[in-house]
Structure formats: C-alpha cells, structure tokens
Amino acid sequence: MNEPQENGTAAGGGRPPMRDALITAAFELFLERGFEHTTVEDIVRLAGVGRRSFFRYFPSKEDVVFPDHERCLADMTEFLESGDGEEEPVARVCDAARLVMRMYAADPAFSVRRYQLTRSVSGLRSHELAVVWRYERTLAGYLRRRLHHWSDGTLRADVVAASVVAAHNNVLRSWLRSGAEGDVTEQMDHALQLVCASWGLGAENVSADAAGGDDVVVLVAKRRTPMWRVVREIESTLEEG
C-alpha cells in the first residue's frame, strides 16, 4: 500500500486528511459499539487505511480520542517560553490556558461528542486525567521559574496552576455539557478573572477602569473582617471609581 508521507506531529496549521479520517472512523465506532469493543483493526478498516498509518499518528487507541492535545501542549510550552519575563505570571498562565479552550472551541461538535464519550468510558477518563496533569505541570513549571525568588514559590506556583486548570475545566465542561451553547470565551474570562483577583501578582489585577488612576483607596474595616470581604470591598470600590 502506497501511503502518503504525512507526519502526525509536524502538520502545521491543519490536520492531515488521513489522520482526520482515522479520528472520524474511531468516533463513529466508539459511539456505535463502545470504546472497549472497538479495535484498532476496526478503525483502520472503516477509515480504509493500513494499520501502520494508525500508529504513525496515535501511540494508542486512547490517543485517537485526544488527537490535538500534543500540539496544544507544545503550543502552550512555546507560548510560555516566548515571553520576555516581564509579564504578570498569573495572567500569563491564564492566557496559556485559553489555548486549550480555543482548541475545544475550534470544533464544538467534535468536542461535545468527545466529552460524551469520555464521560462514559473509565479508561478514557484516566487518560484525560493524565493529559490534564501534563497541562497543569506545564503551567506550574513556568510559574516555578517565575516565582523562584519567593520563599514559597513552588507552593504558590502549584496552587495557582491548579486553580487556573480547575477554573478552566469548570467552564469548559459546563459549556460542553450544555452542548456548546453560549459564549465560552466570556465565561472563561470571568472564571480566570476570579483566579487572577485572588492570586495575581501585578497591576493587571485591578479593574481596567481603575488602572489609569493614581489616586488612593482608603479602606476602613473591623479587624475581624474576613479577608474575602476586604477583597470584595476593595474590588467594588475600584469598579465604582
């Protein structure tokens, strides 16, 4: 069989057609007869390609369900490394997380089908956990480098990375559960803003309205006031300004 020399990872902008055909065939079979009862042989037969083609693109049957994560992880790493080191670190990892959201939002119908599939197959859920873990460690690694001069830098880096991933996944999953209804970008902005307000380290955290002013805020609070109330109070003051 004379197969075109496509490369699974260096595909640049789009997906190669053969890879796409394998993904389409795999999903059709997974939904029809279940993930466990579908073999790689079934997939290549339906896609009309050779078995070796499958393994050129996907290390395993699980990987065909998450075909774009490797590229997205590489994009994320590149994005984080491309900064000049002056960016506010928490906002930067939020922007890095948005790359994942955009990958899902680029093909909502496919993302919804995959979400339904991963909900029902335990083997896929653990594979997904491993993928999410790699994103989280990528974000945490960047933060650890940026916060290395803090005495609790690794702790803070890990907590912020986990917060960003949790906020991102809360929005993404709720959007997928709804069948990709509504504006995921707007919901994501709100969620990541919550993380930035709590953990952010730079001037980006004050609201945009207020960022221009150099005037002062005076806050008077009872000593027993919980910290979250203090933060809320300051935030609402800044928003009114």
Residues that bind a copy of itself (CB under 8 A): 125-126, 129-130, 133, 152, 154-156, 158-159, 161-163, 165-167, 169-171, 174, 190-191, 194-195, 197-206, 210-211, 213-228, 230-231, 234-235, 238, 241
Shortest Å distance, C-beta 239 to a copy of itself: 11
Q: Which is nearer to a copy of itself, 77 or 207 (CB)?
A: 207
Distances (CA, A) of 201 to 138, 178, 222: 19, 34, 25
Q: Which is nearer to a copy of itself, 12 or 228 (CB)?
A: 228
122 vs 3: CA distance, rounded Å? 34
Q: Following DSSP, what letter does each residue of 117-169 receive, concatenated?
A: HHHH-HHHHHHHHHHHHHHHHHHHHHHHHHTTTSTTHHHHHHHHHHHHHHHHH
Shortest Å distance, C-beta 34 to a copy of itself: 21
Joined together, the tokens standing for residue 165 give 């991933």
Distances (CA, A) of 57 to 63, 78, 115, 209: 9, 22, 21, 48
Q: Which is nearer to a copy of itself, 82 or 228 (CB)?
A: 228
Q: Which is nearer to a copy of itself, 12 or 226 (CB)?
A: 226
Q: Which is nearer to a copy of itself, 11 or 211 (CB)?
A: 211
Quick one: CA torsion of 195, 69, 24, 14, rounded to 10 degrees? Answer: 100
Joined together, the tokens standing for residue 150 give 């803090």
Shortest Å distance, C-beta 217 to a copy of itself: 5
Shortest Å distance, C-beta 186 to a copy of itself: 13
119 vs 34: CA distance, rounded Å? 12
**Angle, CA of 190, 101 and 121, to the nearest 5°:** 115
Shortest Å distance, C-beta 148 to a copy of itself: 15
Shortest Å distance, C-beta 90 to a copy of itself: 9
